[in-house]
Amino acid sequence: MGEFQDKAKGAGNNLAGKVKEGIGAATDNHSLEAEGKAQQLKGDAQNLKGDVKGALGDKT
């Protein structure tokens, strides 16, 4: 998977995580809120993976 694909997946996970976190907070659903935060962390990791691939010239 290339740099831009990783970053796109990361952005998608960040957005979905923020939505879940917001819905969880609004409905007092702590489980959904935590799931959203975890999904955002996954998105951050995918973005970092894309950044590393970009720095390496997308050779990985």
Q: Which two tokens stand for residue 10?
A: 């990361």
Per-residue pLDDT, 2: 87
Per-residue pLDDT, 59: 57
Rounded to an integer, what distance in angstroms lies between the CA atom of residue 56 and that of residue 52?
6
Examine residue 27 and state whether it is found in any structural domain, yes or no: yes
Rounded to an integer, what distance in angstroms lies between the CA atom of residue 12 and that of residue 9?
5
Domain that holds residue 31: 3-55
For the chain, the domain total comes to 1
Rounded to an integer, what distance in angstroms lies between the CA atom of residue 6 and that of residue 17?
16
Examine residue 60 and state whether it is found in any structural domain, yes or no: no
DSSP string, 34-49: HHHHHHHHHHHHHHHH
Q: Which residues of the chain have pLDDT under 70?
A: 1, 58-60
Per-residue pLDDT, 13: 97
